[in-house]
């Protein structure tokens, strides 16, 4: 009788579970296939670190993350116990009296204690503390799930106290079993589906941050226009979101009071998919305005503990808008510049030639030079940044490095790519690749982190591979034993560029250089691999600052830098430098901004 009742209950709850899961699986299967299994080694180690060890969850919020990890580890540890009890309940086999099962039960008691501790903490946090990342509404379903988990642990612990075969023990067994079944039925329609999906989502997450495969124009790909264009990984992502809000609180746009909230983007995707709105335009699902507020800093997908990738959705939707001529006006001017003059400012190439001549640069010759220096748009045309490059040239010459530049360069295409103008990006990239192939450098040196990402990662998608190194990394190694510094110490702060710290993971080299050359670094909040963006990325260097919603991102960052008490801010990206100098000027501050190369060179040769 008991066995029959359990079979009936299991089939009812399993049916409810399967029906809801099937709906989601169907939506994933119907989406254009974007799953990839390249770099299996990297994926496997990330799975161990982020799923099994829960490192990403713990890293950002150590205590809360640890409490969550207790629940997760308990969930895994109890798997065998639940299976054994279910096999008994279904009358298949009774292993509950086996010696190993008693030992296993005993071993589970510390896990039960840890899960109880974790779930009580998470319940209090969600119901009473209510951090902003979790949203204004208390999720009733989360509270119910917390009660379920607490009940499961309590009923498990009671099995050690209750007399076997007694009424209390039977009631306790049934409560435990029914709560598990109800939990199972509740999972698919809730954010707790991440329990099932997140290991898969983490494994399938691209090994490249901000991975944007090229559009294939021969296949008439134009980017994401409607809900049905979302790729299978994005659809899986939408059902995996645990609504923790880590992406939200780390997003510089959200932090500066803009409408963009990466968590909302994922939840809106989920809502549109479940509502069957396949033909709905993504510009309506998210609002066009929001799509253009993203700086592509990568903080959202880098912080997400369950492997969700926001940038393929955000930039994919931008591509859809740009291909229909719906990009904002300020981008139109930048696109014109790229089209007519192949650089973001639309300046004549004679200015680059003048700089090449005044800096006494040679044209790169693979037989003669150790390294090719890539100037980039800023290096070719921005007078301030050219001073920084001259500092780098001086260091290279002092160390005896032979270097040259291309006779002509086009913009690497980053501003076109990240704003969705894929056609223009591919034109620029292909032209540069042809020139680079003809010149044949083994190593390219640049001071622009966006050039590192685009030439180093994005050009690989055209089959062109070259080592491209940021100046902070190259000069750190070069000067390690060759140059002595002026010994006076100075308090400075360092702003990690998103495309250097987060995308390339280069955070130690600029600090090692600074410290070696006399800097006592006063670290700013949001530093190293998780910096707060300067606000320039994703084409936002060109937007109308006066029309910007909320506070300017650069102003928020400048205040954070000021709060360190250092009067010198060292930067390592031409665009960070432009944005932060602008913020400093608006605040009428006397803070000094110095590029890393200028700082190092100044310690070798007294500043003028
Ligand atoms: S990439 Fe940066 S700006 Fe864009 S949504 Fe993510 S966190 Fe926000
Ligand atoms: S997308 Fe990731 S980080 Fe953002 S709320 Fe969902 S699970 Fe959390």
Given a contact cutoff of 8 angstroms between Cβ atoms, the answer to whether 390 and 359 are in contact is yes
Residue reference for tokens 């895994």: 76
- What per-residue string of b and e applies to 53-75 under the rule 16 or more CB within 10 Å gives b? ebebbbeebeebbbbbbbbbbbe
Nearest to residue 553, comparing CAs of 511, 591, 498? 498
**In a mutational test of the pocket of ligand 2, which residue from 56, 242, 310 has the highest number of ligand atoms less than 8 Å from its CB?**
242
Which atom of ligand 1 is the closest one to the Cα of 210? 1
In which band, very low, low, confident or very high, does the pLDDT at 248 lie, cut at 50, 70 and 90?
very high
What spacing in Å lies between the alpha carbon of 263 and ligand 1's midpoint? 10
Give the mean model confidence (pLDDT) for residues 450-462: 98
How far is residue 288's CA from residue 94's CA, in Å, rounded to a whole number? 59
Model pLDDT, residue 483: 79
How far is residue 173's CA from residue 159's CA, in Å, rounded to a whole number? 8
Phi, psi of 570 (to 5 degrees): -100, 135
How far is residue 300's CA from residue 32's CA, in Å, rounded to a whole number? 23
Q: Look at residue 395 and tell me whether its pLDDT is greater than 60.
A: yes
CB neighbour list of residue 106: distance below 8 Å, 6 or more residues apart: none
Model pLDDT, residue 1: 65
Q: Concatenated DSSP letters for 46-85?
A: HIIIIIIS-HHHHHHSHHHHHHHHHHHHHHHHTHHHHHHH
For 188, 341, 386, 413, 542, the CA distances from 337, given in Å and listed in that order, are 50, 6, 20, 12, 12
**In a mutational test of the pocket of ligand 2, which residue from 195, 250, 263 has the highest number of ligand atoms less than 8 Å from its CB?**
263
Model pLDDT, residue 584: 97
Given a contact cutoff of 8 angstroms between Cβ atoms, the answer to whether 457 and 531 are in contact is no
Which atom of ligand 1 is the closest one to the Cα of 301? 6
Give the mean model confidence (pLDDT) for residues 554-578: 98
Q: From atom 4 of ligand 1, which residue's Cα is the shortest distance away?
A: 294
How far is residue 97's CA from residue 159's CA, in Å, rounded to a whole number? 13
**In a mutational test of the pocket of ligand 2, which residue from 262, 268, 270 has the highest number of ligand atoms less than 8 Å from its CB?**
262
pTM: 0.94
Model pLDDT for residues 25-60, shown as the tens digit of each residue: 999 999 999 999 999 999 999 999 999 999 999 988
How far is residue 488's CA from residue 604's CA, in Å, rounded to a whole number? 12
Residues lining ligand 1, CB < 6 A?
Answer: 250-253, 260, 262, 294-300, 310-311
Which atom of ligand 1 is the closest one to the Cα of 250? 7
Q: Concatenated DSSP letters for 128-140?
A: II--GGG-SS--H
Burial environment of residue 346 by CB neighbours within 10 A (0 to 12, 13 to 18, 19 or more): middle
Give the mean model confidence (pLDDT) for residues 462-466: 97
Give start and end residues of each alpha helix (H) in 440-535. Answer: 449-456, 471-479, 508-516
Model pLDDT for residues 86-112, shown as the tens digit of each residue: 999 999 999 999 999 999 999 999 999
Model pLDDT, residue 488: 84
Give the mean model confidence (pLDDT) for residues 198-226: 96
Enclosing H/E stretch for 276: none
Q: Look at residue 243 and tell me whether its pLDDT is greater than 60.
A: yes
In which band, very low, low, confident or very high, does the pLDDT at 457 lie, cut at 50, 70 and 90?
very high
Nearest to residue 155, comparing CAs of 180, 126, 136? 180
Residue reference for tokens 């992502």: 237
What spacing in Å lies between the alpha carbon of 390 and ligand 1's midpoint? 33
CB neighbour list of residue 589: distance below 8 Å, 6 or more residues apart: 558, 562
Burial environment of residue 4 by CB neighbours within 10 A (0 to 12, 13 to 18, 19 or more): exposed
Give the mean model confidence (pLDDT) for residues 555-560: 98
Collapsed DSSP state (helix, strand, coil) of residue 501: helix
Q: From atom 6 of ligand 1, which residue's Cα is the shortest distance away?
A: 300
Given a contact cutoff of 8 angstroms between Cβ atoms, the answer to whether 84 and 96 are in contact is yes
Beta strand extents in 205-361 (DSSP E only): none
What spacing in Å lies between the alpha carbon of 262 and ligand 2's midpoint? 8
Residues lining ligand 2, CB < 6 A?
Answer: 241-247, 262-263, 266, 303-304, 306, 308
What spacing in Å lies between the alpha carbon of 535 and ligand 1's midpoint? 10
Give the ligand at the shortest distance from the Cα of 306.
Answer: 2
Model pLDDT, residue 605: 56
**In a mutational test of the pocket of ligand 1, which residue from 261, 291, 294, 303 has the highest number of ligand atoms less than 8 Å from its CB?**
294
Nearest to residue 373, comparing CAs of 387, 362, 384, 383? 362
Q: Look at residue 136 and tell me whether its pLDDT is greater than 90.
A: no
Which atom of ligand 1 is the closest one to the Cα of 311? 1
Model pLDDT, residue 60: 83
Give the ligand at the shortest distance from the Cα of 318.
Answer: 1
Model pLDDT, residue 156: 98
How many residues in total does the chain contain? 608
Q: Look at residue 608 and tell me whether its pLDDT is greater than 50.
A: no
Given a contact cutoff of 8 angstroms between Cβ atoms, the answer to whether 537 and 296 are in contact is yes
Given a contact cutoff of 8 angstroms between Cβ atoms, the answer to whether 33 and 232 are in contact is yes
Total Cβ atoms within 10 A of residue 23: 15
């Amino acid at each position: 009788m008991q066995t029959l009742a359990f079979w009936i209950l299991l089939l009812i709850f399993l049916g409810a579970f399967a029906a809801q899961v099937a709906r989601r699986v169907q939506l994933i299967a119907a989406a254009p296939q974007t799953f990839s299994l390249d770099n299996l080694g990297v994926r496997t180690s990330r799975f161990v670190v982020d799923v099994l060890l829960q490192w990403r969850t713990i890293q950002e919020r150590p205590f809360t993350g640890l409490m969550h990890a207790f629940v997760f580890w308990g969930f895994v540890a109890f798997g065998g116990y639940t299976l054994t009890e279910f096999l008994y309940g279904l009358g298949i086999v009774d292993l509950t009296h086996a010696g190993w099962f008693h030992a296993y039960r005993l071993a589970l008691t510390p896990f039960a204690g840890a899960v109880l501790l974790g779930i009580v903490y998470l319940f209090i946090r969600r119901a009473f503390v209510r951090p902003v990342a979790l949203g204004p509404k208390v999720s009733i379903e989360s509270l119910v799930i917390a009660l379920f988990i607490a009940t499961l642990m309590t009923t498990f612990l009671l099995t050690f106290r209750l007399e076997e075969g007694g009424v209390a023990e039977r009631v306790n067994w049934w409560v435990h079993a029914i709560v598990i079944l109800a939990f199972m039925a509740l999972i698919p329609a809730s954010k707790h589906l991440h329990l099932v999906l997140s290991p898969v989502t983490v494994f399938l997450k691209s090994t490249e941050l901000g991975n944007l495969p090229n559009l294939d124009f021969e296949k008439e790909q134009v980017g994401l226009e409607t809900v049905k264009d979302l790729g299978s990984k994005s659809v899986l992502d939408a059902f995996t979101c645990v609504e923790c809000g880590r992406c939200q609180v780390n997003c510089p746009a959200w932090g500066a009071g803009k409408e963009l909230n990466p968590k909302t983007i994922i939840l809106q995707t989920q809502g549109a998919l479940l509502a069957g709105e396949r033909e709905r335009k993504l510009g309506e699902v998210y609002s066009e305005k929001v799509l253009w507020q993203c700086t592509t800093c990568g903080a959202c997908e880098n912080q997400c503990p369950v492997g969700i990738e926001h940038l393929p959705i955000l930039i994919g939707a931008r591509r859809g808008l740009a291909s229909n001529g719906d990009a904002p006006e300020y981008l139109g001017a930048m696109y014109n510049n790229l089209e007519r003059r192949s650089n973001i400012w639309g300046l004549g190439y004679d200015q680059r030639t003048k700089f090449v001549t005044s800096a006494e640069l040679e044209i790169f010759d693979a037989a003669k030079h150790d390294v090719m220096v890539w100037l980039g748009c800023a290096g070719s045309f921005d007078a301030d940044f050219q001073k920084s490059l001259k500092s780098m040239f001086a260091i290279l010459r002092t160390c005896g490095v032979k270097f040259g530049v291309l006779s002509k360069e086009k913009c690497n295409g980053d501003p076109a790519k990240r704003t969705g103008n894929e056609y223009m990006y591919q034109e620029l990239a292909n032209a540069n690749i042809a020139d680079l192939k003809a010149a044949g450098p083994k190593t390219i040196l640049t001071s622009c982190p966006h050039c590192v990402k685009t030439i180093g990662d994005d050009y690989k998608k055209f089959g062109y591979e070259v080592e491209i190194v940021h100046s902070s990394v190259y000069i750190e190694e070069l000067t390690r034993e060759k140059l002595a510094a002026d010994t006076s110490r100075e308090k400075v702060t360092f702003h990690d560029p998103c495309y250097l710290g987060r995308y390339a993971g280069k955070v130690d080299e600029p600090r090692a250089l600074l410290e070696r050359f006399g800097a006592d670094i006063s670290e700013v909040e949001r530093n190293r691999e998780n910096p707060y963006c300067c606000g320039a990325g994703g084409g936002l260097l060109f937007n109308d600052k006066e029309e910007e919603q909320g506070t300017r991102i650069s102003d928020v960052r400048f205040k954070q830098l000021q709060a360190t008490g250092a009067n010198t801010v060292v930067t390592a990206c031409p665009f960070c430098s432009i944005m932060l100098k602008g913020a400093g000027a608006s605040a009428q501050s006397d803070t000094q901004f110095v590029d890393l190369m200028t700082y190092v060179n100044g310690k070798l040769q007294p500043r003028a």
